[in-house]
A and B are shown apart, each in its own frame.
Chain A
């Protein structure tokens, strides 16, 4: 408790620290926003809540880490991870997801939870339970007389995440497939009537989401670290982001992603790193409680 108060007074006494944490949070948050966008996409288009989202990210991270071990620049891991996860996403869609889309929501939740367990344990068997990190040879920049230090990898990661997000958004807005995806999300039956092959749209959406996760995972491995069981934490984080923003609300998802990054940086600094996971889960409960209060108001309005 004293330590917490001490940390808060440090923040109050040295405003420049706040700036450092804020920048770090925004840089990390860009990756959250990217992966949360993928989750919201699948959620909105096929109403499948993918509990294996965080584990897809971990696969992407491990691909990048392995490339790094082979002496290949980890930033090249981004396209490789995207391609590999596209393939994994396609296989999973064919074998599992396509069979649970029409069933009730808990079915898809449980099926993806099963996939998450398989991925976690598979990664654990293949690479061991240690925390790994891919090293890109980039310097650490310092500003304001060394009070703010920013690793250049984070800036590169941020730039890549933003570029990817813009590419995906443009794709969704302009391309024919993107339009088909949006039409299916609005009303899948009407889309089918108008000649859109919704089966193909679902498959494409799931693969696209997996590829986005792969890219996010590659960035996570570079700017942070990967570990087989961290996937669950990422899944919960992404759920918090999407639930807080509402899945149809794209700017909201991106803003909430940045918010999550900033919140975690400050929370981790004030409370200590060991509370980070508990903090994320408590945030989830808080978001759900707030949502419920909102719904309560709606119900009363109807009465």
Chain B
């Protein structure tokens, strides 16, 4: 990961591609929208997993928390939530256009804020844990949330909540949510690019490389870890709010807290693309989403077996990822200069992620 600013042309081309995609391929608007969501997933997972070296198995918790927060706000502004969740299945409740958009805007903001608050609270539990305990602890948080909401009548329990209906034609709705997710993905990428170029980026890299030493050097590691976790949570909460409204129906186990689908996709995409690199998660998300959309229907029920096998294969045989592999193969392209031969050997032996600070 070089810290040089991205070439304006690259940004322009990406923006153009993103904006043109739904116009060029109107049949695939939803799939491309999900691709942007996947990029958000992968990039936010990489803040902790790749840059900070804390592999979370429970980031999906914030996605679901944001989804449910936005639902409560959107409904609660105008109706009684308990009545809505129990009565929505028998009576039809209409939201006016103004009500819908006010609710949606406030709900999305609330989703980000509440998810961030949850991150601060849970950080007290999970950040004393290291390595595998951290992974299992975070997984525990996500599973606990799914189980609790599944038996919470006020939030519709396992039967879920039907979200307010979008006031407009289905085509408009598709484009609306497409551009929201596209904008979110761009905001996340831009923000992370900036974040990694600051001292904060260096600090979380230091935590990844050696937490004890970082602490001994005077970094207040707990605060950095909490902030990184909160940033990831904020964006995931917003993503959850948008996705919940996009699908129109939310439910705890398979949509809000899907520990074996979206949750594991995040990690898989990052590993596939290259952990701890800026473009790795993006590349991984694109490759994964394209492969998934093209091949998914041909597996006829074997999709998840294939997914599990894919996890095992990537983890065991291809852990440096696409971008990591390219960096190893063509280091000069990434602004990494390698002087003597032994250096390269030793840096390869130490770890997967190349360290620009050391190489420059």
Separation of A292 and B312 alpha carbons in the complex (Å): 31
Per-residue 0/1 for B299-337: is the Cβ within 8 Å of any A Cβ (1 yes, 0 no)?
001101101111110011101000000000000000000
Q: B259-310: which have CB < 8 Å to A?
A: 260, 264, 267, 271, 301-302, 304-305, 307-310
Residue among B132, B137, B271 with most chain A CB within 10 A: B132
Separation of A106 and B271 alpha carbons in the complex (Å): 12
Least CB distance from B155 to A in Å reads 14
Contact (A281, B311) CB under 8 Å given A106-B131, A243-B133: no
Residues of B within 8 A of A277 (CB): 143, 147
Least CB distance from A240 to B in Å reads 9
Contact (A115, B312) CB under 8 Å given A106-B55, A110-B267, A125-B305: yes
A251 on interface, CB distance cutoff 8 Å: no
Question: Contact between B144 and A282 (Cβ–Cβ < 8 Å)?
Answer: yes
Least CB distance from B291 to A in Å reads 16
A275 on interface, CB distance cutoff 8 Å: yes
Separation of A232 and B311 alpha carbons in the complex (Å): 17
Residues of A within 8 A of B120 (CB): none
Contact residue among A96, A105, A109, A278 (Cβ-Cβ distance under 8 Å from B312): A96
Contact residue among B129, B132, B271 (Cβ-Cβ distance under 8 Å from A292): B129
A100 on interface, CB distance cutoff 8 Å: yes
Residues of A within 8 A of B312 (CB): 96, 111, 114-115, 118
B-side interface mostly:
helix
Residues of A within 8 A of B159 (CB): none
Residue among B137, B148, B151, B310 with most chain A CB within 10 A: B137
Q: B61-87: which have CB < 8 Å to A?
A: none
A32 on interface, CB distance cutoff 8 Å: no
Per-residue 0/1 for B99-132: is the Cβ within 8 Å of any A Cβ (1 yes, 0 no)?
0000000000000000000000000011011011
B165 on interface, CB distance cutoff 8 Å: no
A93 on interface, CB distance cutoff 8 Å: no
Residues of B within 8 A of A49 (CB): 132, 136
Question: Contact between B316 and A125 (Cβ–Cβ < 8 Å)?
Answer: no
Question: Contact between B315 and A111 (Cβ–Cβ < 8 Å)?
Answer: yes
Contact (A284, B136) CB under 8 Å given A100-B315, A277-B147: yes
Separation of A277 and B128 alpha carbons in the complex (Å): 24
Interface residues on chain B, number (Cβ under 8 Å): 38
Separation of A118 and B57 alpha carbons in the complex (Å): 18
B141 on interface, CB distance cutoff 8 Å: yes
Question: Contact between B132 and A106 (Cβ–Cβ < 8 Å)?
Answer: yes
Residues of B within 8 A of A19 (CB): none
Q: Which residue of B lies closest to A99 (CB)?
A: B316
B18 on interface, CB distance cutoff 8 Å: no
Residues of A within 8 A of B148 (CB): 278
Contact residue among B140, B264, B309, B311 (Cβ-Cβ distance under 8 Å from A288): B140
B192 on interface, CB distance cutoff 8 Å: no
Contact residue among A105, A114, A296 (Cβ-Cβ distance under 8 Å from B308): A114
Residue among B264, B301, B312 with most chain A CB within 10 A: B312
Question: Contact between A113 and B151 (Cβ–Cβ < 8 Å)?
Answer: no
Least CB distance from B59 to A in Å reads 14
Q: A259-303: which have CB < 8 Å to B?
A: 274-275, 277-278, 281-282, 284-285, 288-289, 291-292, 295-296
Q: Which residue of A lies closest to B151 (CB)?
A: A274
Contact (A281, B144) CB under 8 Å given A99-B316, A118-B308, A288-B129: yes
Contact residue among B55, B131, B137, B304 (Cβ-Cβ distance under 8 Å from A121): B304
B135 on interface, CB distance cutoff 8 Å: yes
Least CB distance from A284 to B in Å reads 4
Separation of A92 and B132 alpha carbons in the complex (Å): 21
Least CB distance from B220 to A in Å reads 14
Residues of B within 8 A of A291 (CB): 128-129, 133
A107 on interface, CB distance cutoff 8 Å: yes
Separation of A113 and B308 alpha carbons in the complex (Å): 8
Least CB distance from A106 to B in Å reads 4
Least CB distance from A109 to B in Å reads 5
Separation of A113 and B55 alpha carbons in the complex (Å): 13
- Other than the given A110-B55, A118-B312, A119-B308, 18 more pairs (CB < 8 A) read A96-B312, A96-B316, A99-B316, A99-B317, A105-B131, A105-B132, A109-B57, A114-B311, A115-B312, A117-B260, A274-B151, A281-B143, A282-B144, A285-B137, A285-B141, A288-B129, A291-B129, A292-B129
Can you give 7 A-B contacts (C-beta < 8 A)? Answer: A100-B316, A106-B131, A117-B264, A278-B151, A284-B136, A288-B126, A296-B128
B-to-A contact residues, CB < 8 Å: 55, 57, 125-126, 128-129, 131-133, 135-137, 140-141, 143-144, 147-148, 150-151, 260, 264, 267, 271, 301-302, 304-305, 307-312, 315-317, 319
